[in-house]
Amino acid sequence: MRASDLPPLPEGFEYRLNLKHHVTPRLLRNQPIHRWFWFPHSFSPQLIDEILCAFPVAAGGRIFDPFLGAGTTVLRALELGYAATGSDLSPLSLFVSQVKLANYDGVMLRECLETILNHYHPSYGNSKVPERIRKAFTPGELAHLNGLRQQIDTAPQPALDFFRLALLRVQQGISRACPDGGWFRWVPREDQSQLIKHLFAQQANMQIADAKSVRFPPFQILLSDVRQLENLQGICDLVITSPPYPNRHDYSRIFHIELLSLGISEREVTELRRTSIRSHVEAEAPPLNADGYVIPSRLAKILDLPANADQRVVPLIKGYFEDLYLTLRSISRYLKPGGICAFVVGNVRHAGVMVPVDEILADVGQQAGYRFITAWVARLRGNSAQQMGRFGRELSRETVVFLQKVKTTTSRLKQRLPLSSHLALEKNNLSTSGDQTNAL
């Protein structure tokens, strides 16, 4: 698309379309270690490099990702020599990230793989396999997967989890439960049981080739709800993250098979779905007080959706931005004054109405004690087939929004007052000698 054809942008936004592949998992699919596992809306480590060029962090600084995902931010921060922290509600995210960050002995991994491949045999008749997994794989495939799993379970840590992740990737390739937007669909496939040993060896050898024996800077990975963070170690200098987009995609469903394969029960998966960020219609409001939050006027204007719209969408959108407010407020406790939050977000369309997530996030950030710095529009996306079929095509932005934690209580107060009151505050500050403010 020519520059002259690009849609105009809000004030403070700029096009950075050279980053269009950086905000997708496309580049990390060939990156050692990063490529072991990724999520559909993962961004690439190259985006972290670009952000650090624009907002440098001093040596020894700490970078935080409160929506850990597949661990891209934490792994890249550690590779660059920074301390890092990551949190997520999903046990799958924690598992994948911990495997990527472990310190490995290549010789030991090769010996373990040889033992696994030489000693495993198909194992039939496991009555404890969840029904959903039985539907995803043929009996023959399950027998080979179970046989490999039994041998993997005899390996010492960290090799045990290393090979469990390799087996998860094999499962993804042969499963009949295939991700499809915010759900998964059942796809008919021929039995692939005779290929499983080869596929597992191929995936494991790729991971072994990538694995490193390195001593990373300090890092912390924890299972936590970002809206009420607890037990984080240290103060962070920079936040780089991507919350789920409010597009109704439910990762507990998309990765249901993987969660069950890790031993997470159906009841626990349902609880994860219920307690996750309100980006889909089955998530519920957390038992938290969003004091200080008011629906931004920009959001209020789009909540009057057409009468034929899904009635669950308005509560979803309202809840999503309240959750982002709670997220930013919670992060603020662990972010240094003046620290930067870089949020990768995607605008979405419901019932033909575009939701400018990037602009509304900037408004919400001001209420939570941040000021808007800039926004990079990295990509212009189409809409879902359903939206385009009913309402036509309208490009939606995928944007990196930069917010800075306000340094003073006075500045935070100003953001919650009308413009006329700002002038009174400025006048009062000028008449006060000395620095009367306190760091947040």
pLDDT digits (tens, 9 = 90+) for 360-403: 999 999 999 999 999 999 999 875 555 555 656 689 999 999 99
CB 13 within 8 A of CB 374: yes
pLDDT digits (tens, 9 = 90+) for 43-57: 999 999 999 999 999
Considering Cα of 200, then 161, then 48, then 403, what sign does the dihedral take?
positive
Residues 293-313, mean pLDDT to the nearest whole number: 90
Backbone angles phi, psi at 341, to 5 degrees: -110, 125
Whole-model pTM: value is 0.89
Which of 46, 44, 48, 28 minimizes the C-alpha distance to 36? 28
Q: Where are the alpha helices (DSSP H) in 39-180?
A: 45-54, 72-79, 91-101, 106-119, 131-136, 139-152, 159-174
Distance between CA atoms of 408 and 410, rounded to whole angstroms?
5
Backbone angles phi, psi at 14, to 5 degrees: -145, 150
> What 3-state class would DSSP assign to 221?
strand
pLDDT digits (tens, 9 = 90+) for 392-424: 668 999 999 999 999 865 444 444 443 333 333
CB 378 within 8 A of CB 3: no
Name the DSSP letter for residue 60. Answer: T
pLDDT digits (tens, 9 = 90+) for 85-98: 999 999 999 999 99
Given a cut of 80, is residue 433 above it in pLDDT? no
pLDDT greater at residue 192 or residue 5:
192
Share of the chain above pLDDT 90, in %: 77
**Separation in Å, CA 132 to CA 168, 174, 257, 265:** 15, 14, 7, 11
pLDDT of amino acid 417: 41
Distance between CA atoms of 151 and 57, rounded to whole angstroms?
44
